[in-house]
């Protein structure tokens, strides 16, 4: 028995590699001439809230639809806890809770009826399903409206029903496609709070085009633009860039990057040799030193511009190129 | 699968349009069988329900696409199709659940016509003087026609996300299979294929059932068409 037990133990120690619960592997999808997804890859690990950010039409929804098995990619694969969505879509769909972009619901149904139906699709029944439905109704704050038909609900409450729908089978991975669009500021805050609550011990991916939302809820950010991943980082790393200032300096004469290297990150601006962009923390002292260098080298200053770098501008900078 | 089946059946009965479809179906059959002088059993004078079996397929070509048109098209339009497709159900089970729900609804619509049978049995002189085998053969034949039209309806519903377009396709394909092929047989040009066309048509197999004998080849024909249509529906859906 001891001999037998050993290999099993070894297996058990290897399992943590599956902890990375959602792995998107170089997805490509073309619609006609247009490449909707171009080698999209990222990983969302357990306990992580990943913000999937990008302008409208960048490929966020397409990526999510591929991840849930609703559309097939031209190439690439999605692994959920190590299981491929292409090879075993049924097993994967049991592990994923999905709120599609426009939150489709059966408007003629009562909330409980709807959740009961969805639970049935996931093979749940009887008392287990009943208690789960009541649990979700209180978790999603639907108690007051619980006896209404879905078409009688406001947008915020419909979104809650959509969230309850996504959670009914207690999935490990939750995919929410723009869960907060079209909500008023109060609803927005409540839904964000709710998302934060449900994300404990789960892998949650949330797509949005609103930067503040990512700041409010997410641990990690993946930015997609025109079907390509353009940034993928922890929020704090992106944030560490934020708060810095950029000085754009232009002179008549050509410049040498080395003259300014001790001040901060420096690069030529728009490939001109007479203009640089300088990223610094303290703009005031950097500006003084800069002017001194320009005087010392007897350069002719054309302009100095100062920009503040926040998440919003990082997003603009990344997605507008 | 059971959840989706019951959802479809309930959706039909929790909606005014469901009762409207059933009502129109039964009223038109009632008028044809009992009231319109050209077709009414009472005018005919024989204890025979032939008008029921001749005209029901006509009514079916409209009624069944009306039942099935929203099965897939509407879900696509409202986006709830995504809910079903991303559930662990799988395409086959989605199609089958919707198909069986449609067949159930057709069965429910047909049940009241058994009252006609009872009436004619009572009206016969002597009472009960009716060809029972022929009646039940035809009745089962009607169920098969309904089942075939339902598979056509599901297929049409998968063709588009517009209910009306699905409805029209459903009528057209049903009409072609039931009346069209038999009508083509009468064309001179078609004479070399006449036998083949005849055997491909729904009405041919339906008529053999209505003689009161349920033959395996007829049943096999109906089942083949059903499986073919549902299979094609699956192919359509997979091409996403």
Confidence of residue A19 (pLDDT cuts 50, 70, 90): low
Q: CA-based angle A214:A150:A202, to the nearest 5? A: 35
Across the A/B interface, how many CB contacts are shorter than 8 Å?
62
Confidence of residue A14 (pLDDT cuts 50, 70, 90): very low
Residue A296 touches partner B, C-beta closer than 8 Å:
no
CB-nearest to A100 from B4, B82, B88 is B82
pLDDT at A15: 43
Task: Identify whether the C-beta of residue A22 lies closer than 8 Å to the C-beta of residue A204.
Answer: no
Instruction: Check pLDDT > 60 for residue B211.
Output: yes
Cβ neighbours for A211, distance < 8 A, ≥ 6 positions apart: A53, A311, A312, A315
pLDDT at A243: 67
Provide, as residue numbers in chain B, all residues whose Cβ is less than 8 Å from the Cβ of A93: 86-88
Pairwise CB contact (< 8 Å): A104 & B11: no
Instruction: Check pLDDT > 50 for residue B179.
Output: yes
Cβ neighbours for A126, distance < 8 A, ≥ 6 positions apart: none
d(CA A293, CA A290): 5
Buried residues in A170-191 as b, exposed as e (16+ CB within 10 A): ebbbbbbbbbbbebeeebbebb
pLDDT at A257: 84
- Distance in Å from the first CA to the final CA of chain B: 22
Between A8 and B226, whose confidence is greater? B226
What Rg do the C-alpha atoms of chain B give, in angstroms?
A: 19
Of A209-223, B26-40, B141-155, give the lowest mean pLDDT range: A209-223
Confidence of residue A115 (pLDDT cuts 50, 70, 90): very high
Query: DSSP readout, A186-219?
Result: HHHHHHHHHHHHHTTTSEEEEEES-HHHHHHH-S
Encode pLDDT of B45-88 as tens digits. 777 888 888 899 999 999 999 999 999 999 999 999 999 999 99
Buried residues in B6-34 as b, exposed as e (16+ CB within 10 A): bbbbbbbeeeeebeebbeebbebbbebbb
Mean pLDDT over the full length of chain B:
90
Buried residues in A264-296 as b, exposed as e (16+ CB within 10 A): bebeebeeeebbbbbbbeebeebbeebeebbee
Pairwise CB contact (< 8 Å): A117 & B7: yes
d(CA A38, CA B191): 57
Length of chain B: 240
Mutation for A interface: B11, B75, B77, B88, most A CBs within 10 A = B88
Tell whether pTM > 0.90: no
Instruction: Look up tokens 């913000």; give the residue.
Output: A51
Confidence of residue A137 (pLDDT cuts 50, 70, 90): very high
pLDDT at B38: 85
Encode pLDDT of B4-22 as tens digits. 999 999 999 988 989 999 9
């Amino acid at each position: 028995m001891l001999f037998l037990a050993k290999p099993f133990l070894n297996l058990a120690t290897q399992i943590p590699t599956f902890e990375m619960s959602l792995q998107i592997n170089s997805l490509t999808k073309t619609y006609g001439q247009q490449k909707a997804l171009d080698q999209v890859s990222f990983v969302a690990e357990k306990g992580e809230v990943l913000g999937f950010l990008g302008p409208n039409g960048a490929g966020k929804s397409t990526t999510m639809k591929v991840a849930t098995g609703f559309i097939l990619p031209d190439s690439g694969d999605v692994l959920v806890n190590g299981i491929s969505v292409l090879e075993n879509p049924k097993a994967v769909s049991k592990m994923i809770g999905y709120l599609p972009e426009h939150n489709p619901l059966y408007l003629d149904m009562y909330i409980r009826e709807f959740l009961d139906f969805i639970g049935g699709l996931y093979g749940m029944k009887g008392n287990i399903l009943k208690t789960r439905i009541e649990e979700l109704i209180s978790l999603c704050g639907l108690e007051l409206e619980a006896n209404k038909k879905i078409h009688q609900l406001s947008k915020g409450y419909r979104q809650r029903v959509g969230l309850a729908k996504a959670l009914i089978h207690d999935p490990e991975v939750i995919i929410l496609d723009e869960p907060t669009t079209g909500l008023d500021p109060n609803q927005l805050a409540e839904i964000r709070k709710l998302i934060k609550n449900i994300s404990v011990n789960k892998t949650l991916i949330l797509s949005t085009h609103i930067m503040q939302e990512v700041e409010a809820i997410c641990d990690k950010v993946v930015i997609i633009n025109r079907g390509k991943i353009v940034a993928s980082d922890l929020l704090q790393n992106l944030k560490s860039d934020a708060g810095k200032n950029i000085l754009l300096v232009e002179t008549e004469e050509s410049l040498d990057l080395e003259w300014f290297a001790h001040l901060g990150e420096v690069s030529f601006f728009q490939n001109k040799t007479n203009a640089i962009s300088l990223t610094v923390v303290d703009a005031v002292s950097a500006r003084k030193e800069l002017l001194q260098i320009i005087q010392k080298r007897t350069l002719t200053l054309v302009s100095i511009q100062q920009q503040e770098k926040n998440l919003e501008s990082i997003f603009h900078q990344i997605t507008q190129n | 699968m059971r959840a989706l089946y019951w959802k479809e059946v309930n959706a039909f009965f929790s909606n005014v349009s469901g009762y409207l479809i059933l009502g129109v179906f039964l009223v038109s059959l009632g008028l044809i069988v009992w009231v319109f002088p050209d077709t009414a059993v009472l005018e005919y004078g024989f204890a025979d329900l032939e008008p029921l079996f001749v005209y029901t397929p006509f009514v079916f070509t409209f009624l069944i696409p009306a039942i099935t048109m929203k099965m897939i098209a509407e879900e696509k339009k409202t986006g709830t199709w995504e809910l079903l497709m991303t559930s662990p159900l799988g395409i086959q089970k989605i199609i089958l659940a919707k198909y069986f729900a449609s067949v159930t609804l057709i069965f429910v619509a047909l049940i009241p016509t058994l009252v006609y049978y009872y009436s004619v049995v009572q009206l016969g002189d002597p009472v009960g003087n009716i060809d029972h085998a022929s009646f039940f053969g035809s009745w089962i034949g009607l169920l098969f026609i309904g089942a075939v039209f339902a598979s056509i309806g599901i297929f049409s519903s998968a063709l588009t996300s517009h209910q009306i377009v699905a409805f029209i396709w459903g009528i057209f394909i049903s009409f072609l299979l039931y009346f069209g092929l038999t009508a083509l047989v009468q064309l001179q040009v078609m004479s070399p294929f006449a036998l083949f066309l005849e055997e491909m048509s729904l009405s041919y197999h339906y008529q053999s059932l209505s003689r009161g004998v349920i033959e395996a080849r007829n049943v096999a024909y109906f089942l083949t068409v059903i499986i073919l249509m549902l299979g094609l529906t699956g192919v359509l859906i997979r091409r996403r």
